[in-house]
Each structure stands twice: as C-alpha cells, then as structure tokens.
Amino acid sequence: MEFIKLTLSPYGSYSYKDASNIAMNILGNFFSSDVGCSDQSRPSYRDWALDDSWGMCVSGNITCLEKAGNYIFLTDQYSEESQPTELKISRHKFVQLLDDWQKKVCKHKPREVTIIYDGTQFTIETRG
C-alpha cells in the first residue's frame, strides 16, 4: 500500500508530512502546491485532463503533467534524479481524485489528509 500524508498549516494550506515513496510524494506536492483549495473560477486540472484541445502538457508550481493516451504522468519539475520518477494514473482516476479532493478536503479543511493507493484505487482519508 502506498500513501502520502499532508497536514493543514496555520495559513490554511496543506504541507508534506510523510510518504511511502517518491511517486506518492509527487502526488502530494501536486495537491498541496499546485491544486490547493483556492479560487475555482480559474481553469482547472480537471478541465485540462478531460479536454485535449487544452494541450498535452501543463505544469504548476512544483509538478509537470503530461497526457499520453488514457493516462496522465506526473513528475517533479525540479527532480535531481538522473531518471525522474513519474506517477502514472488513468485520466478517469485522476479526475476522480480531483473531485474527491474538492469534496473531502477543500469543503471541510481537515487537519490531516492521507491519500492511499492500493494498486488499483486511490482513496482520500481525512482526520480532524
């Protein structure tokens, strides 16, 4: 089982607490630094994932995303690895994860967020 744990800062944003591996850390950085819970009126990663006319690559503050077929690949924009780690996720699971983030995290602002990947499914658990 893979995981990333994030904690709510006093400023209302999420920051890294712990991760099972680099790929999950990249996912945590994506949510804490690039997605966040701010203004929903701007174009979203969800829209980008579903519409190829928006381009095949996009980057945020810390992550790069690339669409290839039915998959999205997330990488660390500033990786120091000779072969950067990437997280491969289906578009469907990516969109579901973004929807769950909005419903479970942004609406309720829990103290701790854990994203778990069991090899087939991503689950967001919250505490506090």
pLDDT tens-place string over residues 89-112 = 999 999 999 999 999 999 999 999
Most confident of 10-14, 39-43, 78-82, 110-114: 110-114
3-state secondary structure the chain: CEEEEEEECCCCCEEEEEECCHHHHHHHHHHHHHHCCCCCCCCCHHHHHHCHHHCCEEECCCEEEEEECCEEEEEECCCCCCCCCEEEEEHHHHHHHHHHHHHHHHCCCCCEEEEEECCCCEEEEEEC
Label residue 37 by pLDDT band (50, 70, 90): confident
pLDDT score of 38: 73
Question: What residues make up the domain containing 116?
Answer: 2-127
Domain count, the chain: 1
